Amino acid sequence: MPHILVAGSIHPKGVALLEASGMSFELVGDIEVESYAPLLPKADALVIRTQPLTAEVIATADRLRIVSRHGVGYDAVDAGALARKGIPLCVVGDVNSRSVAEHALWLMLSATRLSNRGEKAVREGTWEWRNAQEASEIAGKSLLIVGLGRIGRRLADYATAFDMEIRAYDPYLAEHGWPAGPVGPAENLEDGLAWADFVSIHTPLSDQPLIGEAELKKMKPTAVIVNAARGGIIDETALARALSDGTIRAAGLDVFDREPPDPGNPLLALDNIVLSPHNAGLMREGAERLAIHSVQNVLDFFARKLDPALIVNGVHTNA
């Protein structure tokens, strides 16, 4: 009987699915590598949240046959090391694009309305802040979506309801064919940044920040940028400086270079940025879907019916 290790807390519906499977399993609620790594050598399958899965840890897992990510991103997992051991790495597919797109829209709305300052005005009795009219609408404004995948396309649908003018920057689609629809391509990232009133990031993490000091300086001083994709896509030091000196107006972040961010992170001291704890995909409904699908992938693997389209490291083998 396979033994399943779940690294990180998941929704009770996912736990219930494990219980109903009849397989043995172990839950590790803590998200530190040191909490789950000692248990991995006896696991046949791993369901993992956001913690790193390195080549060194993978090397200890002689029984491991399948890894299922509790999400769609896998930059913290050494997919190549798994492939070299013949271990498939799978993701959940499109189960939380709605949650993340809604969250990105909320970040845009909250940031442009400077909700931190508004809340402070109510709580501290500085009611006259309202007369400064610092808050702004998103209706009729321009939106650049960086990465027009499932989440980016859904955000475009939502933004259309606000009569926003929408463009996207996506090198992959520019090379392989732009999808039909109302969202046209930006000529390049720099032109898109200069054009946009709002920028929303929905692209994978690469080796270096996509948005740094030079890119932020391309943006309008009235612009708002939000990131609900991965920490590190925006250079946090450059962003803090841009928000402090008025290079851009406001920002919203759900993700950080280090999670949770260090207490001394300068972004935490600013009132023109809206922050959330990497929970864009963890709305109540989305968290339930993530847990169920990530567990179901493991069960499907051992039942020899895992959808090959969900395997992301090229190891298309079943149990």
Catalytic center residues: 230, 259, 278
Q: Are 204 and 73 in contact (CB under 8 A)?
A: yes
Backbone phi and psi for residue 24, each to the nearest 5 degrees, phi listed first: -80, 145
Query: CA 165 to CA 140: how far, in whole Å?
Result: 7
If DSSP codes are grouped into helix, strand and coil, which group holds residue 139? coil
Where do the DSSP E strands lie in the chain?
A: 3-7, 24-28, 45-48, 66-69, 89-90, 142-146, 165-169, 184-185, 198-201, 224-227, 250-253, 273-275
Backbone phi and psi for residue 189, each to the nearest 5 degrees, phi listed first: -65, -45
Query: CA 298 to CA 225: how far, in whole Å?
Result: 37
Q: Are 217 and 243 in contact (CB under 8 A)?
A: no
And the tokens for 6? 């779940």
Q: Residue for token digits 């499907």?
A: 300
If DSSP codes are grouped into helix, strand and coil, which group holds residue 143? strand
End-to-end CA, the chain: 12
Residues 6+ apart with CB under 8 A from 288: 11, 13, 14
Q: Are 272 and 114 in contact (CB under 8 A)?
A: yes
| 77 Cα distance to chain centroid | 15
If DSSP codes are grouped into helix, strand and coil, which group holds residue 10? coil
Rg (CA), the chain: 21
